[in-house]
Structures are given as structure tokens and as C-alpha cells.
Amino acid sequence: MELNQILEETNQIFKHVLNNPNICLTSTTTASDIDEWDSLNNIRLIADVEQHFNVKFKLREILKLKNVGELCEGVQKKIA
Amino acid sequence: MHRHNLLTQILKGIQNHQNRNAFFIDGKNYTYKVLAERISGILKEIRHNTGKYPQCIGIVEKDDIETYASLIAVLLSGNTYVILNPHNPEDRNYTIIESTDIQLILQSDKSIISIEYPKHIKTIYTQSLSSSTALNELYKIPEENDNAYIIFTSGSTGVPKGVPITHRNLNSFYSAYSDLNFELDKNDRMLQMFDLCFDVSVVSTLYPLTLGACIYTVPQDGVKYTHVYELLEDEDLTFAAIAPSLLSYLQPYFEEIQLPKLKYLILTAEASNWDLLSQFTACTPNAEYINLYGPTEGTIYCTAYRVNPNQIDTYNGMLAIGQAFKNMHAIIVDDNLKEVTQGEKGELCIAGSQLMNGYWKDVNKTNEVFVNLDCFGVTTRYYKTGDICFVDDKKCIHYCGRKDYQVQIQGFRVELNEIEHTVRQYHSKGSNVVVAKPNQLGNQELHLFLEKYEGNDSNLFEYLKEKLPIYMCPKKIYEISELPLNTSGKVDRKKLLQLI
């Protein structure tokens, strides 16, 4: 799958989980850019992304993710 | 006497461990020597800008050495610190500044989101101050009756309540806390994961300094549990006080976690679910778990329950809160303020030297929460905690829930009334009710029900975010033609919970 498409689908998940239709993710977006992106929502975001793309991240892998771009790349590698 | 003076012991810690690390912040170590020099530099400037009488000094919170040094410098100057969180709405910070008559604010640098301060207030950017080596000539051990800090908690009228804690309260707490006999020394590595607006941060920051141990801090924004896990594992932390909800985030990954170096795990800030904790024990083979309970009004913690995995005391799956600290007395009373019999539920009331004198400039609120009760034949002032508890046959106190409409969210005590009050400022055409419901992870979430509302949800969200800290903003808004009432004519909160 193309990175752009993963980003687009991830964006939809974020809008839904964070209950904010105005979220517009880029590859450099981080948790500190979005008010609603706290510990609790992070769990949900990861869980929903995992479910949507049918992948599974290890805790160590999640820690290494610095931004949305790395999350999407992680998904891409796992579904490849 | 000196043995139980927290500040004297911190000064000793600084003196005796100059070359050891005091803080580990954002990947960087700071020795006690560096800490002392930063404290001295800030202390000198505080002296320049304050008079003979103690006053409140604002500190703008940031996860850096400047903020922690400022906090200690204010204490060692004999003044009172008040934390201003730049992530909180401006209105809230402004109310706090006004009510405590802050004339001086310490802030690390100009990069922090600035709060619009009134013109007469002087701001010191501490990063620009030069270090000093004259700590011994600069510090002053404050009077026992002077306030060490004021912490603001949620208040039902929309105005936060200030809880002033004196040095007597703090020293009394320190003495009782030391009596828990943790086997800790200068070699220990201890976690500080709490927001400085929350009082567990006081013990997480100050206690390690008395030992010469190193404090590992966690940034307050972003995703906290991953930071905490990283520190625990990568830095081999030996002592950690955490809110149990943090573990619920980590639960899907327990199999990956191994923390053999952890000696003590303190559970605090909310009820501790033993089912979850017992699963975590496999990750911490050498740690003792201790459940510590206490309202801010009673100085951080006032009861302790040491977990013995072979003999667990729980109620509804929640760990017991144990027994009162040595300088505190706890009794459980019914609605007529008569002590209940063993096993019977009632409101927990506490008395003793850790108890605050009263809310900051609020006699009415103070009178509401204090009550005179008989304690071994002597009339004694007790604080009504609002927590429903009972004592079991082993004299162990169990927590059952809140009496009023308060809930605990991310460790913060939230009055649902305060949120409803704020919503009314925006939408007064119909009533509104906020209810809290635990989500799948067992953590409380807020839901707002609005009568006669046809507006735009996101505008209302934006409004609430401007007025309330993010943890007080409801997750979801429901429009409802009429709020359901129960037989006594009150809003039927149980029915609302079923609608979620």
C-alpha cells in the first residue's frame, strides 16, 4: 500500500477516535501537536490502527515512533 | 527535631552528594552541585525581589532543571510556591494569580506559552540568571506556620479551591513517610511522573533529595505511559509512585515488560484495581507494592496499605487503603456524624498534624469540610474527606467510592458541578448534567447531557477547552429533550449512565 493512502486512512481513524473532524495529519505530526492526543487516546489510536490494517506493534516499536510518518511507515512494513 | 525537618534534610542531601546525580531530565543528568548552584542563583534573585514577610511566588511549570530548582529555591527562601500550568486555560491561571496576590513569577525562559500577566507582576526568566555557590549564606529555614505551597483543586462554584500546606504539615508528613521504612539510599533511582499542580509531585521530587538519590522526571505533555515505561526499564528505576490507570494502558504489553530492579511500587491518586496489579506483579518480581491514600487537604498521603500477595485485602476488587499515618487519626461516621460500628460504611474523617488549616481565603468552604468530633475524649477538628469507607475486622480501612459528585480523572479530583457550571455560562437555555463512566480500561470518562441544545458541538468543545483544563473537558456531548428525574425530583444520573 502507498504511504499516502496509509496516511489518509490513519487520518480518518484519528478524526474518529479523537472526536475532532478538523484533524489533518502530516508525516511530521506528533502527540504534542494535537490537544486530544493523550495517553488514553494513544492506546485507542494504536489499537484502531492495528485493527484497521490488521497488524500488531510491540511496545518497543511504539516507543520508537517519533511521529505519524513513522507510524505509517511501520504499518507499511508490516503489511508488505 | 532536625531529623524531621524536610528542608534541613534536603540541604544535607545536597551537601553530602555534590558529585552524584540529582535529576535526570529529558535524557540529561544534573548533579547535586549543579542543582545547588541553580537554586542559589534563583534564591539570590528571589531575595532581591521580596521583602521580610512570606508571599506567594508563581512558578510556570516545565519539565526542566530550572523549574525544579525554582521550586526548591522558593521553599528555601521562606516563601510559598504556587504552580501555574501553561496548558491550563488563561482564566484559571489568572484567577489563581489574583487570589494568591502573586507579585513575582519564575519561568525558565520565554519559550513557554506565555500567560497574560497583570502589568504589576515581575517575571524572572531563570535560565538567564547566573549560577551561584553561596547556597549556605542564602537559604532560610521557614517558620513552621508559614505556607510551603498552595495547590488548587476543582471547586463546585467554578472557582478553584486553594489548599495551603504549611511547613508543619509537610514536616509531619515527612516524619510519617520516613517511618514507612523504605530501604532506600543515595544509589536509588526514583520516578517523578506527576504534574507539579498535583501534590504527589511534592514527595516524588523532595524525598529523593533527602537521600542523595536521583529523580527521573517525565514530561507532562504527550503520551505519558510510554515515557514512564521507558524510564523504568532503560534506567533501571528502583522506586516509582504511579497512578494505577497508567498500568491499564500498559496492560496489552505486560508480557514484554521486565523490571527486576524495581524495589517499590507506590500506587496512588486513584483506587487500585488488584486484578490489574496482580497481572503486573510478574513484570516486577522484586518489588513491594504499597497503596497510599490521602486528600490534598491532609498533605499528600495519610494512610498506607502494604500489599502482601498471599493475603490480599480488597473490596469490589479494589485494594484496601490500610491504616492512618502515625500523626493522623481516621474515623468513619454516619450522616449524623456518629462513629459507625466496625464493618459499617460511612464517611472517612481525618484529623492530625498533616491537616491544612483551611482553604485559601474561603471561610465558608472551610467550615463546610471541617467538623468537631470527639477523639479519645478530646474535641478535635476533623476533615470530612467525602470518601465512603469502612473498617474491616483487621482494622484495615477500605475505600468504597465518593460521597458527592466528585470523580478522580488522571489523578485529578474533579467536581462535576464545576463543569456543569462552566457549561451553563455557554448554554443557559436548558439544564445540563455531566456524568462519569469508566471506559473499557476502567478509567473514568466524562459525558455531558444538554437540554434544549441545538448548537454546534465543536464550538462548545472549543469554549470548554478555553475555560477548563483538558482533563475536565467531556469526551462526548449528548442532546436530550428533557433530563430524566428520579422519584425525589433529582436528575436521575443512573438513567443517564444507561444512555451512554
Residues of A in contact with B458 (CB under 8 A): 20-22
Mean of pLDDT values over B211-229? 89
Q: Is pLDDT above 70 for B389?
A: yes
Half-sphere exposure of B181 (CA within 13 A, CB side): 2
pLDDT, greater one: A63 or A39: A63
Mean of pLDDT values over B97-125? 88
Mean of pLDDT values over B136-165? 89
**Would you call B88 an interface residue with chain A, using a CB distance cutoff of 8 Å?**
no
Number of domains forming the structure of chain A? 1
- Chain A residue with minimum CA distance to B245: A40
User: What cell does B101 get?
Assistant: 496576590
User: What cell does B187 get?
Assistant: 544509589
**Would you call A42 an interface residue with chain B, using a CB distance cutoff of 8 Å?**
yes
pLDDT value of residue B38? 97
pLDDT value of residue A36? 80
> Quick check: B142 and B75 in contact, CB under 8 A?
yes
**Would you call A56 an interface residue with chain B, using a CB distance cutoff of 8 Å?**
no
**CB within 8 Å: A62 and B246:** no
* DSSP letter, residue A44: H
b/e for B84-105, b at 16 or more Cβ within 10 A? Answer: bbbebbeebbebbbebbebbbb
- Chain A residue with minimum CA distance to B248: A40
**CB within 8 Å: A32 and B470:** no
**CB within 8 Å: B230 and A63:** yes
pLDDT, greater one: A14 or B481: A14
Please report which residue ranges of A1-79 form alpha helices under DSSP H.
Answer: 3-17, 39-53, 59-64, 68-79
Question: CA nearest B461: which of B451, B446, B440?
Answer: B446
Q: Is pLDDT above 60 for B2?
A: no
Which of B87, B223, B439 has the most A C-beta neighbours within 10 Å, making it the best mutation to test the interface with A? B223
- CA pair distance A77, A47, nearest whole angstrom: 17
> Quick check: B74 and B124 in contact, CB under 8 A?
no
* Pick from A35, A37, A40: CB nearest B465: A35
Each residue's pLDDT tens digit, B413-424: 787 878 888 898
- CA pair distance A58, B94, nearest whole angstrom: 43
**Would you call B438 an interface residue with chain A, using a CB distance cutoff of 8 Å?**
no
B156 pLDDT band, cuts 50/70/90, is low
Cβ-Cβ contacts under 8 Å for B111 (sequence gap 6 or more): none
pLDDT, greater one: B301 or B450: B301
**Would you call B224 an interface residue with chain A, using a CB distance cutoff of 8 Å?**
yes
Mean of pLDDT values over B76-90? 93
Q: Are strands B147-153 and B80-84 parallel, antiparallel or unpaired?
A: parallel
* Pick from A19, A37, A63: CB nearest B226: A63
Domains and CATH numbers, chain B: 2-166+196-203 (3.40.50.12780), 406-499 (3.30.300.30)
Q: Is pLDDT above 60 for B488?
A: no
B157 pLDDT band, cuts 50/70/90, is low
Q: Is pLDDT above 80 for B449?
A: yes
- Chain B residue with minimum CA distance to A41: B223
Q: Is pLDDT above 90 for B216?
A: yes
Reduce the DSSP state of residue B147 to 3 states and report it.
strand
Which range marks the domain in which residue A50 is found? 3-79
- Dihedral of the CA atoms B398, B401, B407, B413 (nearest 10)? -30
Looking up residue A75, the CATH number of its domain turns out to be 1.10.1200.10
Q: At what angle do helices B167-178 and B6-16 cross, to 10 degrees?
A: 60
